[in-house]
Structure 1
Amino acid sequence: MTCPYCGFDLPEETQYRLHLGLEHYGRLDEAEQEGFKESYRSENDALDRFRIIALGGLVLLYFGFLVVYALLAA
């Protein structure tokens, strides 16, 4: 999809709506603004889920190294 305001080419509908909302929010009608808000919430939820999973992975890695060190140091 191509942005009608700046000509920027975007491969997905979600990215298109996020671009419109972040770069051209004042030019959007109410329906497009709602589409942006929905896409933004969805993207934010996905990022929060990723952060939690990444933090869990780092904690498991840390304690895994701690257990290995404890076993080898004993």
Structure 2
Amino acid sequence: MSVDEAPAAEYDVPPGEEPAATCPYCGRPFREERYATFHVGAEHAAACSDAEREAFEDERDDEEYELFTFHLKAAVSVFFVYFVFTFVYALVWSG
């Protein structure tokens, strides 16, 4: 039995919440449409349509850009904190 043929599992959705999207292949609910897009592209790659595959690749590219931006901001922040501590250390010991 392949992943695409797996029986639909039951998922607990909190009362009062409606999923923003569900997987068209296995029925899994998702809070955001992009999570469903990632799921379809990763778990149902063999069965998904060209449009779904393109949407998955677009979301993956956006995610990679966001991750690069986060890493860049983190590196700049660490460098800035290091510079400030070094400057304060030099200022304290020079006086």
TM-score, normalization: structure 2?
0.71
The CA deviation string for residues 9-53 of structure 1, in whole angstroms up to 9 with x for no partner, is 211111211111112111101111011001100111111111111
Residue segments in structure 2 that go unaligned for 5+ positions in a row: 1-20
Query: Where do 5+ consecutive residues of structure 1 fail to align?
Result: none
Bigger share in helix: 1
Pairing partner for 1:20 from 27, 40, 61: 40
CA RMSD, aligned part only?
A: 1.2
CA distance in 1: counterparts of 2:39 and 2:83, whole angstroms: 40
Q: Which has the larger radius of gyration?
A: 2
Q: CA deviation at 1:4?
A: 3.1
What is the correspondence of 1:1-74 to structure 2 with a 5 Å cutoff? Answer: 1-74=21-94
- What number of residue pairs does the alignment pair up? 74
CA displacement at 1:6 relative to structure 2:
3.5
Larger deviation, residues 1-10 vs 29-38: 1-10
Structure number with the higher strand fraction is: 2
1:5: how far off?
Answer: 3.1
Identity of aligned residues (%): 36
1:27 and 1:43 map into 2 onto residues whose CA distance is 23
